[in-house]
Every structure is written in structure tokens, then in C-alpha cells.
Structure 1
């Protein structure tokens, strides 16, 4: 009864399984259930002991002490094997197979022995109260996120690996912030209204993106987002003007960089939008986040991201990897199944500079937690290329 899987029991009871319903009702009152089991168990054991003593004395009246000693040893062995170790081990191994039939007996026994159960439990509570032990009702079926994560990880073959990863991805959303998955500012493509009309038209004709931020001069002076379908008038007009673009732009949506992904997913859903600009505590634009980015954290990559056409990670014949310095640490760890530290810096370049506490020169090598990093190229105080291998 106590070893049964509570979640499987709940599922079967909710599905209408009669035995599961009975067992669940019994387990909703664990004190009474344990009370009736222990009353019956001790009653039988004590009765067996008294009966064995009487039989032993009657069989060997000439030496009652020896008879009682022998009978006690035999009864102890029989009770241990046939009433304790063997049945309880079987019940622990097959809890449902024994708990369901046992519920037919335990339920009426609980009714018959109810006064004795209430008396025993009341006395027990009184003794615990004297020792200042307070019994408070607890919901043993409630699980926190870490316990649920452990259950999903331990599900093994009963849950497909892809579904398992999706569930773990949902549970991990609160541990990941928008800053961890955003497209950094230096990789953003947008329309600068200070550019010439011909340059803007060429950019729109060749862009691989569906939505583009529109700004004047600097990305911190963003006007809004333009969907590529709303640029048709501008692209087909004989005399296109920048006003055609700015009036079609939707208002920009800003996201603090520390927002957890779980919160941002809800915000996207509530506001009915799919894209936002990530800002720091000073209001400066740091990058861009989309609903697709968050969903890919849960289900993995489900679309072909045009931004990934030129891969940042290139395997080499010697087993090492040539990696762009701007590559995300999270992406590197996910793609290569590595465990580079991702608590601080978000890019490979930032990680190396953080480890060295200085901007390195090219042709330099270092070890970062079991990984050899060889710096190949440095430009504008940033590492642009490095070779990594797992030691």
C-alpha cells in the first residue's frame, strides 16, 4: 500500500479503475490505514505467540522452559520468513498486484476496527504532543521543479528521448534569461532610414528575414518593426519614399535582458506579438529575441534559421573545432555536447577574455575546464577565431 506509485494510482483512479479508487481512498487517510494494518498485524502475532506457548507447554509438560524456548525460536523464524521478509519483499516488488486485492479486505476491516483505530491514533497523537512533535498535513503528491526534473530524467525508455528533452526544456525555462538566447546587437540586420532609398530597396529585396527593425541613425533610436509583406508598396512604387516604410512599422516592444524565458513566453502570448528588442538597465538595445527562439529552447530547432547558414563551428580533421569568437557558449555546449562554463560570458570571445582577465594576442593557448583553446585571430579587441578541443 505504501510502496505503490502514487502518480500511476492517481491516473488509474481518475480513469475509473475501481480498485485504484479504493486504494486511493485508503491512502487519503494514512494514519487510519496504518492503524488498522498494525492492529491486525500485532493482534495476529501476539495471538500466535500465546497459542504457541500453550501448545508447547501441553506437548512437553515435563520441561516447559525448554518447550517455550524452542517454540519461541520456531515461531520467530516462521513469522520472519512467512509473515515479514517474504510477503513484504513481494509486496514491495509488485505493489499494485497486492494492494488492489488487499483493498477489498482492508476497507471493511477499517469499518469494523474503526473505534480501536481512532483510540490508538488519539493516544499516539497525545504522546507525540507531550514530546512536542506536531503532525501537520502534507501534500505528498506535490512536486517542485527539481523533483519533477528528476522524475522526467529517470523515466528512461518509458518516455521517448525527444519528449523527455522537451519536458526538461520547459522546466529549464526559468533558469535561462532572455540575454542567454538573444541575437546580439552586432548581428542584427535592420533598416536605417538615414540610408539612401536605393540602398534600402536593395536591402529589402535581398533580406532573408521576415521582420526587420527600422531605426534612424542608431539602433537605440528604433521606430518599430517592419514585416516584409508590408514593404510591397515601397518595393513596387516608381517613386518610393521612406515614409512608406515608417508608417507601416509596428510599435517596438522592449524586453529587459534579465527576464526569464518562462516569463517572456507568457508576455509574448499575452501581448500577441512574436519579436522584441532586448535592452539593458540603461535602456540601450543589446539584441533581439523572438518567440521562435524560446520555442526552440523547448523543442529544439524546428526551422531552418537563415542566420545559421554560415555555421560558427567547423570540425577539423584532427578532432578539434574551428569556432567563431562570436559563437554562443550555449550553442557550442548544445551542438558539441560540451560543458564550457556559461554562468558569466555569453560568447566564446567573452569567455576567453573573462578567463584571462585581459585582451589576448593571437597565437595563444589556454585551458578552460578540460578544454584546450587556441586563439587564432584577434580583431578590434575581440577574439574572432579560435580552435578548441576537448582534453
Structure 2
């Protein structure tokens, strides 16, 4: 074996190692979590800052890596062919093809990419200086090739000129949390809280408000003793005040303000003027998004608002606690009244009050009933059946069997739900 032979073999090994770096760098850079890289960058990691700057123009980086990878693979294959031709004659072409295919696939593709996928951030940090050199060498050529590719694809109606993600930031976060939950890294409660937070911009006040039929309010024309007793016996801190008609809300009374007023008049309820204790009501449209309403509550330092429709008619009320419960789940304190809206039966079915929100049921039982067209379980049944069912009528949709157990006039008040395959 001549020295030239060994130099050629050494050159082939070096090219295979470069191919290893090219393939691993491509996978490591694309698979790295931008959130983790950003955290490392903020912590002062210089290589993390370098990786962040490189993946800002991902098309240029990937193009440069592919150009370099193909160059070294082709050159390594050509050198291997020349060596094996000298050793085996014309059959060396076949040997070179088989040998280089196995070597490149195993050591320059599968091995580096598997390593990079297993530990993307450490691998990306390790090869960051190498990636910077590649971009310096082939960046201009990569930009030219990418320009040509975009122009060619535009002939077929594909526009790649803007680097816009097909998923919104909310969808990406929701998908990441769902994957982590499936893998066991995030528990169900944390997944639900994150989902509730991401849903705030999609939900409207009307989706979570206390409907006017369930509102507790007081009549300003009642005797002061009756009003004081009703407020103090209520489990609610704030109560709307109406005058003339129940939908004519003229104020909101806070229990603490009432206690303060009672103290000032020597604890004599008859001397209380409820309208002087009440604060001015705040009216909000029922189409306000929960995110906007949350920000408005925080900005005004308020906790309570009256919800009205487009005609100014009272629809219900919403509180800051209602919105927070969409994120963290039900918040109960020692004064809350425990309402049994969902009951698990021994046969595996679930008995649900018609007024139970679909979102609450989905969260409690990890179901996926749609809530786009209806807010409550009763509303869902009416929407799906396009009618107001009678008692004992049963329907199957969305993988569940719904049996109407009780109806009060036109309201469905109780429903039994079981899996459709058990019906």
C-alpha cells in the first residue's frame, strides 16, 4: 500500500466525519426547543445566543448544511470509488457503491441524527461554532439557491417568501402541553389550567356568565330590614340592586360596605338607605372576550360586572372569580353553596343538571364534547336534536348516549349520560 493510498483513506474518513457533523447539525438545530435556547441565552450562554442567531434564518442555515453535506458525501464516494477501482478493477465500482451507501447511511445519517434527536439542545450547542463556519462558507450560495427554489415553486402557486408558522402561538403551546401530558411530564390539572388560560381569547363573557334566571338580586323598594337580612344571609359578597323591574339594575351592594353603613347607624337596619350604600353598576357587552374582560377587571380594580346584550337588555353577571375559575378550576370557600351538578352513578353513567356548562363537564371527566354552538349540556342536547325533547327520550351523538330524565316546561333540567357503546 502506497502513502497516497493511506492519504486517500484518511481523506475519506475525514469527509465521513464532516458528513456526520453536517447531518447532526441539521437535526440538532431544527429539533432544539427555542424556549430552552432562549432560557440559556438569557442566562449568559454564548453558544445558545449563537444558535438563536443561526436559526433566525433557518432556510439559509439548512441550505448551507445541505450543500456542504452533499459536497462531502459526493467527494467521499468518488475517492472511495477510485481506491476500490485500483484494488478490484471494474468491479470496484459495485464494491464502492455498497460500502459507501452502508457507511454514509449508518455513520453519517442514522447515527448523528439519532444522537441529535435524543439530545437536541446539547448537540446544537456543541456544533454551533461549526454551523457558523458553514454559514460563512456556503451562506451566499444557499441564499441564491433558496431564491431560485422560491421562484420555481411560485410557478405552482406555492409562496414560501414569508416564514410564517402554520400554527398560531396558542396552538403550538396547546400542542406542546398535550404532548407533555401524554408523555407523563404534565399532570391533567396542569394541562387543564394551561388550556383554560389559552382559551381566554376564544371565549366570550356570555359563555361563563351567571344567567339572569340564576342571578340573586334585591329590590331597592323593599324595606331596609328585608334588604339587610337578604344580603347578610346570601353566600355572595356582591348583589345587584334593581328598581321597578328585575332587569333594571341600578346599583351593586358590597357586603362590606353594608356592614360599614350598619356600624355608622348603630346597627339599626331601618336607617339604611340601600341606594347610598350601592355603587354604580358596570355594564359590559356579552360578546366581550374573557381575555379583554380580565384585563378590564384588573385595570379598573373591579370584581363584578353586569352583562348586557346588543339591545342593552340584562343577560346576566360576570365576576373576576368566574374568569379565574376558567383557568384554575372551581374555587370554593367556606361560604360557597355546594351544588351537586354532576353525579357519577354506580353503573358508570353520569347524571348531569341541564345547566352544567359543557366546559366544566369536559374538564371534570376529561371528555371532548363540543362547546362552540352551546354553553350548557341542555343547550347541547337541544342544538343536536333541533327540538326540545320530552322526558325519557334518548339520543346518541359525539360518542355518548344522552337520556332526558327531567324537563320543566321548556327547560331540560336533568340528563343521564353514558358511553354510546354501553347503551
Partner of 1:105: 130
**Distance verdict in 2 for CA 1:245–1:105, change over 3 Å:** same
- Counterpart of 1:28 in structure 2 is 56
CA, structure 1 residues 195+366, in 2 after alignment: closer, same or farther (shift >3 Å)? Answer: same
Does 2:194 align with 1:167?
yes
Closer, same or farther: CA 74–172 of 1 in aligned 2, 3 Å? same
Q: Secondary structure at the match of 2:393?
A: strand
Residue from 57, 72, 79 that aligns with 2:104? 79
Tell whether 2:113 aligns with 1:93: no
Count the aligned residue pairs. 381
Kindly indicate whether the alpha-carbon contact (under 8 Å) linking 1:226 and 1:248 is maintained by their aligned counterparts in 2: yes
Alignment of 1:161-240 (within 5 A): 161-232=188-259, 233-234=261-262, 236-238=266-268, 240=270
The offset of 1:169, in angstroms, is: 0.8
1:262-303, Cα deviation, whole Å (9 max, x unpaired) = 121112122221101111222221211100000000011233
CA positional deviation for 1:251:
0.8
8 Å CA contact 2:358–2:371 kept in 1: the answer is yes
Counterparts of 1:96 and 1:140 in 2: how far apart (Å)? 21
1:257 aligned to 2:278?
no
The two structures have a TM-score, normalised by structure 2, of: 0.77
| Alpha-carbon distance in 1 for matches of 2:409, 2:366 | 30
Q: Does 1:2 align with 2:26?
A: yes
**1:260-271, aligned counterparts within 5 Å?**
260-271=289-300
CA–CA separation in structure 2 for the residues paired with 1:323 and 1:58: 83
| DSSP 3-state at the match of 1:304 | coil
Q: 1:246: Cα distance to partner?
A: 0.1
Bigger mean CA offset, 347-356 vs 189-198:
347-356
Alpha-carbon contact 2:64-2:142 (below 8 Å) kept: no
Deviation digits for residues 348-385 of structure 1 (CA, Å, limit 9, x no counterpart): 444455555555554x3222422231333x44443444
Which stretches in structure 2 are left out of the alignment for 5+ residues? Answer: 1-24
Distance 1:252 1:187, change over 3 A: same
- Alignment equivalent of 1:121, drawn from 142, 145, 150: 142
**Are the structure 2 counterparts of residues 17 and 204 from structure 1 closer, same or farther at C-alpha, using a change threshold of 3 Å?**
same
Residue 141 of structure 1: how far off its partner (Å): 11
Distance across 2 between alignment mates of 1:140 and 1:239: 63
Distance in 2, matches of 1:387 and 1:129, equals 57
Q: Please state how far the C-alpha of 1:192 moved relative to its aligned partner.
A: 0.4
Return the offset for 1:26.
3.1
RMSD: 3.3
Change in Cα spacing, 1:82 to 1:205, as seen in structure 2 (3 Å) is closer
Determine whether 1:280 maps to 2:305: no
Q: 2 CA distance for matches of 1:186 and 1:57? A: 90
The corresponding residue for 1:44 is 72
Q: Does the aligned pair in 1 maintain the 2:394–2:403 contact within 8 Å?
A: yes
SS at structure 2 position matched to 1:309? coil
Counterparts in 2 of 1:20 and 1:288: CA distance versus 1, 3 Å: same
Provide closer, same or farther for how the CA distance between residues 320 and 142 of structure 1 changes in structure 2, counting only shifts above 3 A.
Answer: closer
